[in-house]
Amino acid sequence: MHRLNAWLRRHPMVVDAAWASIVLFLGVLPDNGSNHGWRYGVQLAIAVVLPLLMVVRRRWPDATVATAAAIGVGQVALDVDPAISSIAYLVFAYTGAAFASTWVSRLALAAGLAAGPLVFWRLHPTKTQLDGEGNILQQPYHLGESVVITLLMSTPFILCWAWGRLTRVRRAYLVELEDRAARLERERDAQSKVAVAAERARIARELHDVVAHNVSVMIVQADGAAYVLDNSPQQAKQALSTIASTGRQALVEMRRLLGVLRTADTADEYMPQPGVEELPELLDQVRTAGLQVDFATSGDPRELPRGVELTVYRIVQEALTNVRKHGGPDVHARVAVDFGERELAVLIEDDGRGTTDEQLSSGGTDGQGHGLIGMRERVGMVSGTLDIGPRPGGGFRIRAVLPLKAAH
């Protein structure tokens, strides 16, 4: 049934042809009356032409509505009584308002308004009554009766025209909604792609710096090992061990880079990026800006891969930036870093205004959410998990869990 309805919507002429065949069948039924003169022939011709116009009314609405109006005027002028086929005039009143151009729509409205008075004046100007002796008399209608009758005869045409006008407005409204939805979807996808591309480019630059730092360490150690190889084999052995461990770490970072590296070269200066050890300096800067922050660490602090160090630093930096922007006045934040055996947990929470689920799903209170996108990108590169959402009791909470090798 659904497929049939969809097919019929794609082929409206089939539906129109079905209705036109019914009107044609009813219009050409034999007339049992005694009048079979030329007016009856005109009725039959009209009964055939109007259904044909109904079939093509959607393809050529202007021509069919104008033709139907001309036929109606000719029918009144020739004093041809309306027949069952005259119901097609209601269809053309609807067609003119729903599909035709502006001038044809106005023509359909004018024809509908004039249909009642014209038919009443031309075909039924008097009423039949019996006098006291039983004789049949033709008496004119009273003014009130004439007004009521003409209004009743014009009302179906006006209702059909109003229905067609409502259909046109509704169709235009639906088209506008579809266009707006498509435009908003394109804009949202474009903004998301731009944000992700910009953040990935920034991550690529930072990880490039990390890898460059590891390679520079390897080069220095290799030069030192070559210099002391003959005089101090033990120092050369230590240097080679450092080169091996640094190379393995650089290889891990390169594997993580494969998904986000960009081809453009950067002109940034090669230098190690900040990590967990630089967090106290970051928090001092935040406190200087007026944000109250508590900092705590737990577990066994140890050296971490540079990618994890950088991820932790950037997550804390971005989270505290969001607290300053959206937390409101007198907000208090807490940063906790837990060194576990196999994972590193970072928690940033505040007691500020927080956010709603709708704002969070749409990208943040500012409607962009680039910082949150960057957090997810960073955590995903080190195979970690990120939990972002409102904090129970008020405020906002960010928790990242990053996998680590077991401590020796």
Residue 15, pLDDT > 60, answer yes
Segment of 209-213, 321-325, 358-362 carrying the highest mean pLDDT: 321-325
Distance CA 309, CA 381 (A): 13
- Tell me the two tokens of residue 82: 């309306």
pLDDT at 295: 93
Residues with Cβ < 8 Å from 314, sequence gap 6 or more? 206, 374, 375, 378
- Residue 124: φ, ψ to 5°: -135, 60
Residue 332, pLDDT > 60, answer yes
Side chain identity at residue 125, one-letter code: P
pLDDT at 336: 94
Residue 360, pLDDT > 60, answer no
47 and 28 Cβ atoms separated by less than 8 Å: yes
Beta bridge pairs of residue 136 = 130
Nearest residue to 276 (alpha-carbon basis) of 300, 317, 312, 307: 312
Of residues 105 and 371, more confidently modeled: 105
pLDDT at 407: 47
Q: How confident is the model at residue 271 (pLDDT cuts 50, 70, 90)?
A: very low
Of residues 363 and 248, more confidently modeled: 248
Match 């042809």 to its residue by tokens.
Answer: 17
Query: Considering only 32-41, 151-160, 325-334, 343-352, which range has the smallest mean pLDDT?
Result: 32-41
- Tell me the two tokens of residue 387: 């939990």
82 and 118 Cβ atoms separated by less than 8 Å: no
- Tell me the two tokens of residue 120: 């009443």
pLDDT at 19: 85
400 and 315 Cβ atoms separated by less than 8 Å: yes
Residues with Cβ < 8 Å from 94, sequence gap 6 or more? 160, 161, 163, 164, 167
Nearest residue to 82 (alpha-carbon basis) of 53, 122, 52: 122
364 and 355 Cβ atoms separated by less than 8 Å: yes
**Distances, alpha carbon 2 to alpha carbons 5, 7, 8, 10, 100, in Å:** 5, 9, 10, 13, 29
pLDDT at 352: 82
- Tell me the two tokens of residue 24: 């044609």
Helix (H, G, I), strand (E, B) or coil at 243: helix
Segment of 24-38, 83-97, 201-215, 369-383 carrying the highest mean pLDDT: 83-97
Distance CA 401, CA 337 (A): 10
User: No. of H helices and E strands in the chain?
Assistant: 12, 7
Distance CA 88, CA 16 (A): 11
- Tell me the two tokens of residue 262: 């960009």
Q: How confident is the model at residue 288 (pLDDT cuts 50, 70, 90)?
A: low
Nearest residue to 209 (alpha-carbon basis) of 248, 245, 261, 280: 261
Distance CA 192, CA 189 (A): 5
Q: What is the pTM of this model?
A: 0.46
DSSP state of 333: E
How many other β-carbons are positioned within 10 Å of the β-carbon of residue 295?
17
Residue pLDDT, tens place only, 42-72: 888 888 888 899 888 888 999 999 999 998 8
103 and 65 Cβ atoms separated by less than 8 Å: no
Ranges of H-type helices in 78-139: 88-98, 102-123
pLDDT at 166: 92
For residue 400, the number of C-alpha atoms closer than 13 Å in the C-beta half-sphere is 28
pLDDT at 364: 46
pLDDT at 408: 45
Residue 366, pLDDT > 50, answer no
98 and 109 Cβ atoms separated by less than 8 Å: no
Beta bridge pairs of residue 140 = 126
Distance CA 203, CA 379 (A): 11
Of residues 28 and 361, more confidently modeled: 28
Side chain identity at residue 372, one-letter code: L
